[in-house]
Amino acid sequence: MNVKTLLLISALLVSFILAACGAEKMYTADSKPEPQATDYSKPEHWLSLHYSAVKEVDVFYIYPTAWQNDPKVPNEKSAPHVCRIDNPSMLIGSKEAFESQATAFETVGNIYAPYYRQVDAGYALSVGIEKRDELLRGIPKTDVFTAFDFYTKHYNRGRPYILVSHSQGSLLMMFLLSEYMKENPEIYKRMIAAYVIGYSITKDFLANNPHLKFAEGPADTGVIISYNTEAPTIEGTSFLVLPGAIAINPITWTREEIPATVEQSLGSRIDFDGTYVDKLKYADARVDKKRGVVICNVDPTTLPTKTHWAKGIYHTHDYGLYYYNLRENAANRAKKFLSK
């Protein structure tokens, strides 16, 4: 067999192997392939998309964990720790998160929300911060960065924008703020604010990223807004709250520990398994600088009982408890930005 024939056979074998792998291969936490980004030119890869934007401002939303690997489900028996872009349970869960969180901003801007391949929450919580960070920096980060880049080039058209995220989405948003914005200052200049809620923005994170700044008041722009909501006492500890965490009061929009009463609240919107109930004079708020969280004295018996979190951790209600305050605040910051 001559050299030319050997080369031809080798090329055919390589082509066959690549074709068999496919673009939608699912990866385990220990495999190290080069992540292939999701194709965001396809509308089916967007949870919310606007071809003809009508508002002066955009909102780019990254939803929280909406999927958890379930070996009892036939098509997930061999599923790894990152889901497919068309995973049925992720598609359903992301829509539910959108309704309870992103809709707070629908009166303020045109909402763009990509689907992204995300990490199984149960596995992520079991491996520690370093391993979780490594996993998130693979496929999920690749998707989010690609989606945001595609959005800026094809949909944004130079409009100012607001970033919104929660939980796992906020971890990915932190990558976007610390890396993408640093490399693209001209895009960062159009950011009105980033609502990075449900995970800790810490003093160390800000010190390591001097191009970023945390909000100081109700109308400053180009800033990060962040908090985690807890009861005065909780069972155990929350992995969401890191040492040095910073929080802002989602009613008064200050970082001082002065309590905001339920009378100051504009209202909550609580999700009872898909039924949304507006509640006035329901949630108060107080920054606890030592714990790095927002303390809420809401009656826990009036909240939905179905939760995956320890008693006193109001993670799933970070947006709902302050839904209408978030809406007003985003509008105020957008107005301030546009007035410039």
Q: Is 173 inside a domain boundary?
A: yes
Residue range(s) defining the domain that contains residue 198: 41-339
H or E stretch including 205? helix 203-208
Q: Is 316 inside a domain boundary?
A: yes
> Rounded distance, CA 46 to CA 111, Å?
11
> Rounded distance, CA 267 to CA 286, Å?
16
> Rounded distance, CA 197 to CA 171, Å?
9
The percent of residues above 90 in pLDDT, for the chain, comes to: 74
Q: Is 12 inside a domain boundary?
A: no
What residues are paired with 229 via a beta bridge? 294
For position 328, what pLDDT does the model report? 98
Q: Is 331 inside a domain boundary?
A: yes
Q: Which of 63-72, 104-113, 134-143, 170-179 has the lowest mean pLDDT?
A: 63-72
Return the beta strands (E) in the chain as ranges. Answer: 46-48, 58-62, 110-114, 161-166, 191-197, 201-202, 223-225, 229-230, 245-246, 268-272, 275-279, 286-288, 293-295
Residue-wise pLDDT for 48-69, tens only, equals 999 988 999 999 999 999 998 8
Q: Is 66 inside a domain boundary?
A: yes
Q: Around Cβ 318, how many Cβ atoms within 10 Å?
A: 28
Tokens of 143: 């998707």
Q: Are 218 and 329 in contact (CB under 8 A)?
A: yes
Q: How many domains does the chain have?
A: 1
For position 237, what pLDDT does the model report? 81
Q: Is 10 inside a domain boundary?
A: no
Rounded mean pLDDT of 85-101? 96
The confidence band for 24, taking pLDDT boundaries of 50, 70 and 90, is very low
Rounded mean pLDDT of 304-324? 88
Q: Is 269 inside a domain boundary?
A: yes
Q: Are 150 and 163 in contact (CB under 8 A)?
A: no
Given a cut of 60, whether residue 312 has pLDDT beyond it is: yes
Rounded mean pLDDT of 17-26? 33
Q: Are 276 and 282 in contact (CB under 8 A)?
A: no
Q: Is 62 inside a domain boundary?
A: yes
